[in-house]
Amino acid sequence: MDLKNIFSQLSMGNKDTVYLSVTPGVGLELIQLDMVTKTVKNYSYRPLEYKESLREIQDIEAFKTAVTELFDELKINIRSNIVLNLPMVLFGSKELPILLADEAVNEALISEVEQSYVFRRYEPIVSWSDAPVQPSGDLRKLFYTAIQKKMIDEIKAALLELGANLAGVQTSLTSVLKALDFAGLAETQMKDGVSWNLMLITQNGYSICSMVGKNIVDFYEEPLAIKSFEGDEIYNAINASAQIALMGYPANYLYIVSETDMVSAELLAGRLQVEGIVNYLENNDFKKQDVIPVGLDVLESAAHKISLEAIGIAAGSAVTMPMTFDFVGSGDVSIKDNPNEIVHVELGSLEFNISPNSAKNIALAVAIVLLIPVFALALFVPVIVGKKQAKLDEISSKKQQLETQVNSMEEQQNKFQDFDVNTEIKKILSSNRAKLMAYTALGDSVPSKLWLTYFVAKDNGKFNIKGVSSNVEDVYTFFRNMKDSLIGTHLRLHKLEMQADSVDDAVTVDPAQSGSNYEFELTNMDGSELNPSVQTTEGQPAESKQQAPQEQNTVNNLGKPLLNFGNNGN
């Protein structure tokens, strides 16, 4: 019988375990589950401001007040072990040499996450886990998540001041996955070998978690200013962006979970055109029914607020996931009682009072008695010890050789720190995605009596489109279609005028009878980009300086003009 089982049977005053979740849109949630019936037996919440842009609790004093009120309302002893769910700040993957020690891996991941704008202000804490599918060769693939160390320290200090102990901190992505498993909402998708995508909609955009069963195999996040859209514009924006993103993650199922009241998962599921079966779940005010049943002690008005994150964090060890991330401990609550606190213990028919320190001393004495035969046996095997020492020396020699190789590899990597392959690949994919959306929009938006004479799509998301139409109505139709298709590009009608040989003709000719065409220009470039100043060099002729802007405006980013794209109106 090990020491853990001895402590368990003695029941020496273990603190209760209470689960809290900081959930944007809800606030601070306190929840306890009945694992046998899979129901919520205790729940309440308090509003708590969370700054989405900085990914942090706005006021730590408000957090302390909310914690105190929740424990008082539910009549729970605040001297408890608390496991906390926090919104995900950063999640990603990286491949590193397989020979790197854990300390070196942690340093490499910290260097990676410090590139994010959030961690340029505050030091990160990183938690990582090996990917279920590993690449061949000398590399290992890791998934990692990070959160501000300052936030963890402030929460820990606030709870300690109240008399509580912070036993674990996990993030919303894994909590949502555990909730879907615990409630049986993704039972089909989480079967071994089944490929599916989890799409999470938040106020900052959306993310796609590519899954095989319960294993995370890839992750993609697309920032999107959802609050800047009105009405159905947000669905068009998500649809236009996600259609391309989901092409890179073919799967049998798509599961959409909306975390924001601005987007209905049901409406979005009906608009996305993807292969496979689409399921959805409202984790917002569009929710029509509770995720899991609630007990009679839970108020009906509060039950509607229960989030997936709260259920997932409270599920604890009842749900096992291949990859777990925790910023405080393993997530298992350890015994951290007052060593001098006297506890009443019932062991069968025996009843007695004992302090935790006394119990530990008793357990230590028992352990020593059990170890005496082991020490006695060790006296009779000196020869074996000598052989083991020889093998240890050999292993130590090999270890030194490997450490030398690792140091050499690290020196080689340090020489190439200025070039980040992953960053360059993401830049190329982002540029190609923007251009593909632009070309798709052109193909769908050109009216029958309008044609294009010029088109430029730059890597920085700037566009310049010129064309001719036989009537003004088609110009405005084309403008509206392009603006709806290229969401967030701030496209504007820069030019609209009638074609004429002279100024007199433009003034006197009746457009309706002359059959004249109209020239137009759509762009999101400013004046300096449309007419860039010519950089002069010493000794360059004036004529060549004046010709440079004209030559620059006659070609697109592919190196040749785009002529007669569309119908010429005949």
Kindly calculate the radius of gyration of the chain based on its CA atoms and give it in whole angstroms.
Answer: 32
Is residue 298 exposed (0-12), middle (13-18) or buried (19+ Cβ within 10 Å)?
Answer: buried
Residues 142-178 have pLDDT tens digits of: 999 999 999 999 999 999 999 999 999 999 999 999 9
Rounded distance, CA 350 to CA 347, Å?
5
Strands 90-97 and 139-148: antiparallel
Is the pLDDT score of 343 beyond 70?
no
| 421-445 helix and 233-247 helix, angle to the nearest 10 degrees | 120
What pLDDT is stored for residue 504 in this prediction?
57
Residues 6+ apart with CB under 8 A from 159: 67, 82, 165, 166
Strand pairing class (81-86; 17-23): parallel
Is the pLDDT confidence value at 555 over 50?
no
Question: Following DSSP, what letter does each residue of 490-519 receive, concatenated?
Answer: --EEEEEEE--SSHHHHHHS-HHHH---EE
- φ/ψ of residue 478, rounded to 5: -65, -40
Per-residue model confidence (pLDDT) at position 557: 41
Q: Residue 512 above 70 pLDDT?
A: no
The amino acid present at 93, given as its one-letter code, is S
Q: What is the pTM of this model?
A: 0.58
> pLDDT digit string (tens) for 98-136?
888 989 999 999 999 998 888 888 899 999 998 888 887
Contact (CB, 8 A) for 244 and 485:
no
H or E stretch covering 486: none
pLDDT band at 550 (very low <50, low <70, confident <90, very high): very low
DSSP summary character for residue 294: B
Structure tokens at 132: 């279920």
